[in-house]
Amino acid sequence: MKDTKATTAVKEEIRNMTCIVCPTGCQLEVKIVGDLIEVTGADCRRGEEYGRNEVLNPVRVLTTTVKIAEGTLPLLPVRTTEAIPKELLYEAMTALADIELKAPIKTGAVVVENLLGTGIDLVASRDMDHK
């Protein structure tokens, strides 16, 4: 076999990662050869997709809290309806620090529409009654 470095200009990169799609936590090996991405080690298709995404556009669901006035608790747990780009997590946290809602609110109610232009909403993840 010939030396691959000599024969191709396309860089080959291998990344190892833990799949976070489910509690199984498969160890993925993602091989990147130019535009080609090959994922091995995943037990399911969603794992393969996760591996591919981690290279192209890593995303995470953000779960956090926002302040809420007059509720039974001072904080309301919230989540993004879908995963947002990982690099936006801190920016989202800073932006959400200034929000203050008012109780009552229901599970699933939209707290922030189109969070940071992602097209993804932030919603309440529990009911919060008026105190």
Partner 1 sequence: MEKFLRCRGYLCTLDLGSFLHSHIPNEEVKWLGKRSHYDAIVIGGGVVGTAVLRTLAKLELSAALLEKETEVGWGVTKANSGIVHSGFHSEPGTWKTKLSVLGNQMFDQLCEDLDVPFKRNGMMLVAATPEEEEIIKHYYNQGLINGVEGMEILDQKALHQLEPNLSPQISMALRAPSGGIVLPFELASAQAENAAANGAHVYTDMEVTDIDYNGSVFIIHTKQGMSFTSEYLINSAGLYADELAKMCNLDIEPIIPRKGEEYLFDLKVGDIVSHTIFPVPTPTSKGILVIPTAEGNIMIGPTALELPYKDDVTTTPQGFEEIFSSTQELVPGLNRRDIITSFAGVRAGSPTGDFIFQLSHDGKGVHLRGIESPGLTAAPAIAEHVLTLLKDAGLEKPAKKDFNPRRPRVVRFNELSDEEKAEVIQKNPLYAHVICRCETVTEGEIVDAIRRGAKTIDGVKFRTRAGMGRCQGGFCTPYVVDILARELGVSPLEITKRGGDSYLLAAEAKALLKGGTLCD
Partner 2 sequence: MTKVIETDVAIIGGGPAGLAAAVSARKAGAENVVIIERHHELGGILQQCIHNGFGLHRFREELTGPEYAYRFIPEVWDDPKIDVYLNTMVLDLAKDQSITAVHPSHGLITLRPKATVLAMGCRERTRGALNIPGTRPAGVYTAGAAQRFVNMDGFMPGKKVVILGSGDIGLIMARRFTLEGAEVKAVVEVMPYPAGLTRNIAQCLEDFDIPLYLRSTVTKVHGKDRVEGVTVSQVDDAWQPLPGTEMHIPCDTLLLSVGLLPENELTQMADVPLDSRTQGAVVDQNRQTLIPGIFAAGNVLHVHDLVDYVSEEAEIAGRAAAEYALRDGDTRQEKITVIPGENVSYVLPQRLDPDAETEFYLRVTKPIDRITIELGGVRLAVRRLVRPSEMLKIRLRKDHWEKLKQENGETSLELVLDAKAQPVPSPRAQREGVRQ
- Residue (52 or 67) nearer to partner 2, CB: 67
Output DSSP code: residue 130: B
- Residue (42 or 68) nearer to partner 1, CB: 68
Count of all residues that appear for the chain in the document: 131
Q: What are the structure tokens assigned to 111, written together?
A: 């707290």
Query: Alpha-carbon distance 114 to 85, whole Å?
Result: 13
Q: How far is the CB of 7 from partner 2 (least distance, A)?
A: 26
Query: Alpha-carbon distance 113 to 74, whole Å?
Result: 22
Contacts of 5 (CB under 8 A, 6+ apart): none
- 31 belongs to the binding site for partner 2 (CB under 8 A): no
Query: Alpha-carbon distance 27 to 112, whole Å?
Result: 35
Q: Which residues between 41 and 80 bind partner 2 (CB under 8 A)?
A: 41, 60-65, 67, 72-75, 77, 79
Q: Which chain residues interact with partner 2 by CB under 8 A?
A: 16-27, 29, 41, 60-65, 67, 72-75, 77, 79, 86, 89-90, 93, 107, 125-127
Positions that interact with partner 1 (CB under 8 A): 65, 67, 74-75, 90, 93-94, 96-98
